[in-house]
Amino acid sequence: MKVAAIQMVSGISLDANLSEALRLLRQAANAGAELAVLPEYFCFMGHQDADKLLLAETPGLGTVQDFLSDAARDLKLWIVGGTLPMATDDPLHAANASMVYNTRGDQVSRYDKIHLFRFNNGRESYDEAHVLRAGNTPTSFDCKTRSGENWRVGQSVCYDLRFGELYRALAADVLLVPSAFTHTTGQAHWEVLLRARAIENQAYVIASAQGGNHENGRRTWGHSMVIDPWGQIMAMHAEGPGVVLADIDRERLRSVRLQLPALQHRRL
């Protein structure tokens, strides 16, 4: 199955972000991708964290959900909608939700980011808990290819990457990591964490990132990539908008897990 990690540099205009996402999704579909993963906050990166509350949608109703459904159906593409803000029962907090749509445009999965990012090095300061409510449910879905293969796909978002126990719980063939890593933390840890998650779970990793200088002054690391179950980087895009394409292969997955049966050797 050919997969695509979509990299963006999202801004403050919802319409402009959706237009750019559609352009990149079309590029992925035209290249033969069957599964495309958009980055975290693909639809909006406001001037301040609280701005996302203004766009929070209710399940099954909203501009971004309609966009994802229509794009998946029209392009005949499985689409993982990075993340979008979803309303909660608390108007001061939204869920950071990753929504999955199949080729019929049906929503088949939703994962709410469990681990909320907090960072302060004296120059940069972030605390997602100010406006986001954490999820609590590890989430996977089954993705059936055009050839009839079935892939178990585990969902995660950005800061989740630092918590290996989540990925063990997912027990998936493919791990998704839509992200908006800061330039500072991404430069230090992004690649090594992604490769570690691939190696220890003997799974493919599709990491779609924000990558560049944003209108709101934030700088994200980018380096979207696809990694194989041996930890090898198959394809990567460093900075700016782009589409990372790679073919994931079930025989390669089986071979890695057979020659080094680490998953069978677990004791804890």
| Rounded-to-integer distance, Cα 6 and Cα 27, Å | 10
Cβ neighbour number for residue 146 with a 10 Å cutoff: 10
Catalytic pick among 20, 34, 128, 158: 158
What are the C-alpha distances in Å from 13 to residues 9, 55, 74, 254?
Answer: 12, 11, 23, 44
Say if CB 206 and CB 3 are below 8 A apart.
Answer: yes
191 catalytically annotated? no
- Per-residue tokens: 268: 């804890």
- Give the C-alpha separation, 250 to 79, whole Å: 20
Among candidate residues 34, 43, 52, 113, the one labeled active-site is: 113
Assess whether 43 carries a catalytic annotation. no
Between CA 89 and CA 92 the distance in angstroms is 9
Q: Is 158 a catalytic residue?
A: yes
DSSP for 171-215 reads --SEEE--B--BHHHIIIIIHHHHHHHHHHHT-EEEE-BB-SB-T
- CA atoms of 98 and 81, how far apart (whole Å): 6
* Distance, C-alpha 55 to centroid of its chain: 19
C-alpha pair distances (Å), 181 with each of 16, 59, 64, 184, 201: 21, 26, 22, 8, 22
From the candidates 40, 57, 128, 239, which is the catalytic residue?
40
Hey, which residues are catalytic here? 40, 113, 158
